[in-house]
Amino acid sequence: MNNKGLLAIAAACFAMLSQAAIAAKGFSYSYIDGGYQGVRADSADADGLAAKLSFGVMDHFMVLAGYSRFWQDDAEGFSSVDVDVDQFTIGGGGHYSITERIDLVGSVVYVNEQSTGKAKYPGESSKSRINGTREGYRAEFSGRIRAMDKLELTPLVAYRDVGDESGTGFGLDAIYQFHKDWSVRGNATYFNDDSATNLFLGVRFDM
């Protein structure tokens, strides 16, 4: 067998071992997410950036923290809006393996939202200052499914109660691993309280 044949066999073996390593790694619960986050709702639309930290502790638990900033320039009941919304979350959760490719996950986080800016009501000549805080929590239950060696799908159900709004959400999370430590992540979750769809598209780094 010539050198080219040996190199081809070596490359094929390396590729199979890499795929096996990814599959055997299981699900990571220590990671950082970052990227675009948007909200499309009946009462308002907003776009922004978000970051989330998950840190696994012991065998079946993780600590969660997140920050996002939304820029809102449209809202029901206002003729002009220029508001920034900062959202902080902190909490924790647990996970349990059903099979090598399926984990059940539950989490609860405290939510704090701070809105600052200006908005103008119809008929008014000047904008009114907006400065408010809302607090509450969000609970989520999901199933992480390794559909393929590099593809993970996570259907989820969530409940949130923040300020004077509460509702149930259903969503789907998708993660494609393009490197042993890096993935592309997308999420869409629909909440029934304001017909709101939360969107996320970004990257994940596994620690």
CA–CA separation, 109 and 48 (whole Å): 20
pLDDT tier at 90, thresholds 50, 70, 90: very high
Residue-wise pLDDT tens digits, 149-178: 999 999 999 999 999 889 999 999 999 999
Query: Tokens at residue 167, please?
Result: 């509702």
User: Which among 105, 92, 79 is positioned nearest to 26, based on CA atoms?
Assistant: 105
Average pLDDT over residues 1-23: 44
Per-residue confidence at 76, pLDDT binned at 50, 70, 90? low
Q: What is the pLDDT of residue 82?
A: 80
- For the stretch 90-94, contacts whose Cβ atoms lie closer than 8 Å and that sit 24 or more positions apart, written own/partner, are 90/64, 90/65, 90/66, 91/63, 91/64, 91/65, 91/137, 92/61, 92/62, 92/63, 92/64, 93/61, 93/62, 93/64, 93/140, 94/60, 94/61, 94/62
- Residues 64 and 93: beta-carbon distance below 8 Å: yes
Report yes or no on whether pTM surpasses 0.75: yes
185's CB contacts (< 8 A; 6+ apart) are: 33, 35, 173, 174, 175, 200, 201, 202, 203, 204
The band of 109, judged by pLDDT with boundaries at 50, 70 and 90, is very high
Number of helices (H) and strands (E) in the chain: give both, helices first: 1, 10
The pLDDT value given to residue 156: 98
Report whether pLDDT(100) > 60: yes
| Structural tokens at position 125 | 């000549």
Contact between 54 and 62 (Cβ < 8 Å): yes
For the domain made up of 28-206, the CATH class stated in words is mainly beta
Domain-by-domain residue ranges, the chain? 28-206
Residue range 48-62, pLDDT digits in tens: 999 999 999 999 999
| Residue 62: predicted pLDDT | 97
Residue-averaged pLDDT of the chain: 86
Q: Which amino acid is at 109?
A: V
pLDDT tier at 190, thresholds 50, 70, 90: very high
Q: Find the mean pLDDT for residues 96-109.
A: 96
- To which H or E segment does residue 184 belong? strand 182-191
